[in-house]
């Protein structure tokens, strides 16, 4: 069930970001064209319009940090309540990402950015030093900073969003 959800999420994210057709989108995502076609049909029918509205609020920015062996990605557009939930349940969020991606080492660290303050919940301070240097490259905003070990645009973004949804459902 989870793979269907992030398959739809990744297709929708790519559809909103890229101005390309079904076949090109299918090749870019590595998804079956049938899945892409179904999502496109749902978008055109208006069934996924509410989800498209949510995804349009989320900004995804890759950060260039050559001193790290991971790909930092900044996700903006989340409210402070969600960021507090992440801060309090960081291990559970990582677990959801591992389960959804089926890759135990998918994420190196997850940081919470509020204004000028970047914290890595659950990470010992001495290990956070190389990641704290990322603060210099980030805008003054609120968001999540995820350092992916093997980042695949749209797919990993959708895994994060699905994992955040699971986290919210679990913490209610």
Domain boundaries, the chain: 2-55, 58-171
So what's the pLDDT on residue 13?
74
> Model-level pTM?
0.82
Question: How many angstroms from the chain centroid is the CA of residue 56?
Answer: 13
Collapsing DSSP to helix, strand or coil, 158 comes out as helix
Cβ partners under 8 Å of residue 105, min gap 6: 149
Q: Give the pair of three-digit tokens for residue 155.
A: 């797919």
In contact, 28 and 40? CB cutoff 8 Å: no
Question: How many angstroms from the chain centroid is the CA of residue 123?
Answer: 20
- Sign of the CA dihedral with 145 first, then 56, 30, and 5 last: positive
So what's the pLDDT on residue 44?
76
So what's the pLDDT on residue 3?
44
d(CA 93, CA 114): 18
Regions in the chain scoring below 50 on pLDDT? 1-4
H or E element in which residue 117 lies: strand 117-119
């Amino acid at each position: 069930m989870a793979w269907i959800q992030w398959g739809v999420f990744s297709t929708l994210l790519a559809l909103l970001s890229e101005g390309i057709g079904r076949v090109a989108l299918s090749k870019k995502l590595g998804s079956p064209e049938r899945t892409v076609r179904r999502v496109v049909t749902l978008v055109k029918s208006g069934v996924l319009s509410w989800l498209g509205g949510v995804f349009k609020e989320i900004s995804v920015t890759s950060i260039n940090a050559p001193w790290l062996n991971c790909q930092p990605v900044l996700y903006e557009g989340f409210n402070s309540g969600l960021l507090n939930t992440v801060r309090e349940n960081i291990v559970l969020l990582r677990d959801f990402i591992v389960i959804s991606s089926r890759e135990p080492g998918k994420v190196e660290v997850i940081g919470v950015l509020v204004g000028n303050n970047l914290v890595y919940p659950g990470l010992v301070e001495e290990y956070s030093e190389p990641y704290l240097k990322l603060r210099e490259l980030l805008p003054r905003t609120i968001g999540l900073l995820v350092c992916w070990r093997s980042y695949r645009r749209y797919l990993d973004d959708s895994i994060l969003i699905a994992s955040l949804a699971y986290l919210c459902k679990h913490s209610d």
